[in-house]
Amino acid sequence: MKHVAYEYARRGARLVLVARREDRLQVVADKARQIGSPGVIVVAADVSKVEDCKQFVEEAVNHFGQLDHLVNNAGVVLIDFFEKVTRFSDFASIMASKAALISFFETLRTEFGPDIGITIVTPGLIESEMSKGEILSQYAWVPMEATEVCAKAIVDSACSGDMYLTEPSWVKVWVWIKILCPEVFEWGAHSISKYSENVAGKVILITGASSGIGEHVAYEYARRRACLALIARREDRLQEVANRARQLGSPEVIVVPADVSKVEDCKRFVDETVNHFGQLDHLVNNAGVTRIELFEDSTQFSDYASIMDINFWGSIYSTHNAVPHLRKRKGKIVVLASTVAWLAMPRLSFYNASKAALISFFETLRVELGSDIGITIVTPGLIKSEMSEATKLSKAKATWILAKSTEGCAKAIVASACRGDMYLTEPSWMKVMFWMKIMCPEVLEWGLHWTFVKRRETSKDS
């Protein structure tokens, strides 16, 4: 960390800079002199070699006649999941190495007593070359501290003789969480570092793929170079989606016109997919229809049978035929339910019921299947799709809702499935409504009734 050198230079300290890249060391040395260091020497060395370590310490003492602070900062990291490591000679487990450092220097501090002070620094995410890697960049939402700020804190702490320093300071909260409730800490750490499946070359079957969320889920899988089996009733639309998916990167796409409400169709499209590709890795149960109407205005209940047939039974039929093939591949099932399964949106009673049935069924199935097949239950709110545009939601004064784009929702769904999440709610702000239902259900139901029933009746009367 060159900024530690600059911080010591500001305080007028003389420096011995050690690293393997001599050209970079010279640049740091020149700047340190400009900042205020009265003397700087550069020693190109590799700290992994015993003879190099002996050499640079001796050069420092021979040149300056003394040594006051030793900053052990050199480090490397290779970020990967342990199960993906193929050559252990390339593998550096930063967690294990840093734990060993802490244990060693705590022991050494006990042995030295007051003769030599030892400050153990435990940085969190700091903006540096090491934190710019591809994997760490996925956690850009975690607050990172500037290298300069961390370096200043380190030198201050060393000069104060502190035993420990954690930067950024908010990371200490996690230390206390680990001490007081380690299970919660490990669950959280596991959740944010889940292995994201590489679906390139894998086979994804998507129902309801001719439009809306299903169409864009197909495009998102295509961008990840997955093979696709697209299912819907409208063959002409499926062909258009298939052509676009190929352009986006899918190596192979097949189209199977089918009606998920028919048992024989569901068996047929699963069989055709497996016969063509020889495997099935993900099943995306997306097909769905809706009808918006107050329950008391309903006259022909037979008109509502298709909602349950497609939304619920269509997913059940598809899943039943796919499970044997998914089990062989340790595959995944993605279920498109809806926030209205628990939000009780007026005018959607039959649709809401079909989605609630989906959630209950697949939660039970997840318990039955165990770890053999992953199940991600997706509960979208209002998404800008063909279904939402064709409904009377705008007439029901729902335009104030912050709808999420279909593309954004599809990207979140595929990412969630690849991580193996149990649940996903999109847009994420809809989770607030879920907590409202738990904490104050009366308030939520009054608000929904006033907004989607009373308000409309009032506007009609006026």
Query: pLDDT tens for residues 173-224?
Result: 877 877 887 777 677 766 665 668 899 999 999 999 999 999 999 999 999 9
* Amino acid in the structure at residue 269: F
Q: What's the pLDDT at 170?
A: 81
Interatomic CA distance for residues 377 and 363, integer angstroms = 8
Asked whether the predicted pLDDT for residue 347 surpasses 50, the reply is yes
Is 284 strand, coil or helix?
Answer: strand
Asked whether the predicted pLDDT for residue 302 surpasses 50, the reply is yes
Domain extents for the chain?
A: 2-192, 203-461
Asked whether the predicted pLDDT for residue 292 surpasses 90, the reply is no
Average pLDDT (147-175) is 88
- With cut-offs at 50, 70 and 90, classify the pLDDT of residue 275: very high
Q: State the angle between helix axes of 406-419 and 212-223 in degrees (0 to 180), rounded to the nearest 10.
A: 60
CB 339 within 8 A of CB 381: yes
Asked whether the predicted pLDDT for residue 461 surpasses 70, the reply is no
Q: What's the pLDDT at 129?
A: 56
Q: What's the pLDDT at 340?
A: 80
- In this structure, which long-range contacts are made by residues 260-265, counting pairs with CB atoms below 8 Å and at least 24 apart in sequence? 260/207, 260/208, 260/231, 260/287, 260/310, 260/314, 260/315, 260/317, 260/318, 261/306, 261/309, 261/310, 261/313, 261/314, 262/317, 263/317
Lowest mean per-residue pLDDT among 55-59, 132-136, 163-167: 132-136
- With cut-offs at 50, 70 and 90, classify the pLDDT of residue 17: very high
**Angle ∠(290,296,301) on CA atoms, nearest 5:** 55
Asked whether the predicted pLDDT for residue 378 surpasses 60, the reply is yes
> At the top level of CATH, which class does the domain 203-461 belong to?
alpha beta
Tell me the backbone φ, ψ of residue 20, rounded to 5 degrees.
-85, -30
Catalytic residue among 6, 8, 317, 351: 351
- Percent of the chain at pLDDT > 90 equals 52
Asked whether the predicted pLDDT for residue 91 surpasses 50, the reply is no
Interatomic CA distance for residues 208 and 216, integer angstroms = 11
Average pLDDT (105-124) is 89
Cβ-proximal residues to 293 (8 Å cutoff; 6+ apart), any chain: 347
Interatomic CA distance for residues 46 and 75, integer angstroms = 11
Active site residue 195: no
HSE of 454, CA atoms in CB hemisphere, 13 A: 7
| Local structure of residue 194 (DSSP, 8 states) | P
Q: What's the pLDDT at 280?
A: 98
Asked whether the predicted pLDDT for residue 322 surpasses 90, the reply is yes
pTM (two decimals): 0.63
Asked whether the predicted pLDDT for residue 394 surpasses 60, the reply is no
Domain 2-192 matches domain 203-461 at the CATH topology level: yes
Asked whether the predicted pLDDT for residue 395 surpasses 50, the reply is no
Q: What's the pLDDT at 418?
A: 94
Asked whether the predicted pLDDT for residue 83 surpasses 60, the reply is no
Residue 377: in which H helix or E strand, if any?
A: strand 374-380
Tell me the backbone φ, ψ of residue 174, rounded to 5 degrees.
-65, -30
| Adjacent-strand bridge partners of 41 | 16
Q: How far is CA 39 from CA 63, 144, 249, 389, in A?
A: 10, 32, 58, 72
Position with higher pLDDT, 180 vs 128: 180
CATH superfamily of 2-192: NAD(P)-binding Rossmann-like Domain (3.40.50.720)
Query: pLDDT tens for residues 213-268?
Result: 999 999 999 999 999 999 999 999 999 999 999 999 999 999 999 999 999 999 99
Asked whether the predicted pLDDT for residue 324 surpasses 90, the reply is yes
Interatomic CA distance for residues 309 and 181, integer angstroms = 45
Q: Which of 319-333, 344-358, 434-448 has the highest mean pLDDT?
A: 319-333
CB 332 within 8 A of CB 325: no
| Exposure string for 376-396, b = 16+ CB within 10 A, e = fewer | bbbbbbbbbbebbeebebeeb
